[in-house]
Amino acid sequence: MLKILVTGGAGYIGSQTALHLLDEGYEVVILDNMMNGHEDVIPNEALFENQDLCDIDGLEQVFDKHDISAVIHFAAGPSIVSEKAEALPSYYENNLKGTLNLFEVMRKKNVKNIVFSSTAAVYGIPDSTPITEEMDKNPINVYGYVKYMTEKILADYNRSGLINYVALRYFNACGADSDGRTGELHNPETHLIPLVLQTALKKRDKIYIFGDDYDTEDGTCIRDYVHTEDLARAHVYALKKLFEGKLTAEAINLGSGEGYSVRSIINEAKKITKVDFAVEVTERREGDPDVLIASSAKAKELLDWQPEHDLESIIKTAWNWHKSLE
């Protein structure tokens, strides 16, 4: 049985992917330093290593202990990154240094294949949508820079014959496991759908819309929402293509190709939860483009992947998850 190392497997998308790998008959070793991870979402059937990627000796021991066939690399600092002087060095250390250690240990142990968790934030504010993979990459925050740098490093490792990779650039990850085994647990929470559902649960007084004067039909920002079960499936497809040697160095968008405005998310959530919560329009948030929608043509062509969950299913599964946390 193939054993897959899932770094960051105690996180939101990592745990969903670990569950899917197990369902597909892989063995899973979750590696997480539990800085942002949650014990409750580590699948019982997975092996678990509480290990920091920055500790290269410890990391090497994990590879010595387990016969790792490939890596799926989620582990990263928080996606909302403070650029304050005191936070920045440790962010770079946790992310870039940890990632370089991982690549070095893979080289040493002759593990060739990796699926890397990247982001639509590599594009920054695009000139047009839908966003295709070859469009300019101009990240506007540290999170986006580090993910893009890592993609560049992977490309170098590939040219040197050390690593084959697929970098998956997620658009707005959302939803929860259909069987309620894992879901979104960010702290602090900043993402729209969980905040909306927490408002429906009366954990918040109201939901704020960050600006309704954008260049969209209802004035609120449009995003491409994609369910974590669909993302998880894409990781396993990418892994299979790497094992088959059909992909060796690719960056692929994961989005639905469809966009929903902030207002339409709120309206759909009101319909599903049957709660009429308070909504207030407030100032724009810095760095929010009007519209971010993926071209999903490459994912369809190279991975034969397309999302199965629609918006209703995204909000329903997320709602069940949030209610289960009560």
Q: Which residues are catalytic, by number? A: 143
Which residue, among 55, 58, 93, has the nearest Cα to 77 in the 3D structure? 93
- Residues 253-272, interacting with ligand UDP (CB under 6 A): 262
- CA 95 – CA 117 distance, rounded (Å): 12
Question: DSSP label at 120?
Answer: G
204 scored as a contact of ligand UDP (CB under 6 A): no
Considering only residues 15, 129, 172, 317, which one is a binding residue for ligand UDP as defined by CB under 6 A? 172
Which residue, among 146, 140, 190, has the nearest Cα to 167 in the 3D structure? 146
Q: How far is the CB of 182 from ligand UDP (least distance, A)?
A: 18
Q: How far is the CB of 279 from ligand UDP (least distance, A)?
A: 10
Give the binding range for ligand UDP (CB under 6 A) out of 44-52, 191-199, 295-303, 310-318.
191-199
The residue type found at 306 is Q
- CA 9 – CA 37 distance, rounded (Å): 8
- CA 35 – CA 135 distance, rounded (Å): 34
285 scored as a contact of ligand UDP (CB under 6 A): yes
For ligand UDP, the closer of residues 143 and 237 by Cβ is 143
For ligand UDP, the closer of residues 94 and 199 by Cβ is 199
Give the binding range for ligand UDP (CB under 6 A) out of 56-64, 100-108, 186-194, 228-236.
186-194
8 A C-beta contact, residue 293 and residue 129? yes
8 A C-beta contact, residue 99 and residue 118? no
Q: How far is the CB of 221 from ligand UDP (least distance, A)?
A: 3
288 scored as a contact of ligand UDP (CB under 6 A): yes
Tokens representing 254 are 């994961």
- CA 170 – CA 225 distance, rounded (Å): 9
227 scored as a contact of ligand UDP (CB under 6 A): no
Q: How far is the CB of 209 from ligand UDP (least distance, A)?
A: 4
Considering only residues 192, 251, 314, 318, which one is a binding residue for ligand UDP as defined by CB under 6 A? 192
8 A C-beta contact, residue 258 and residue 174? no
Residues in the site for ligand UDP, rule: CB under 6 A?
172, 190-192, 195, 207-210, 221, 223, 262, 285, 288
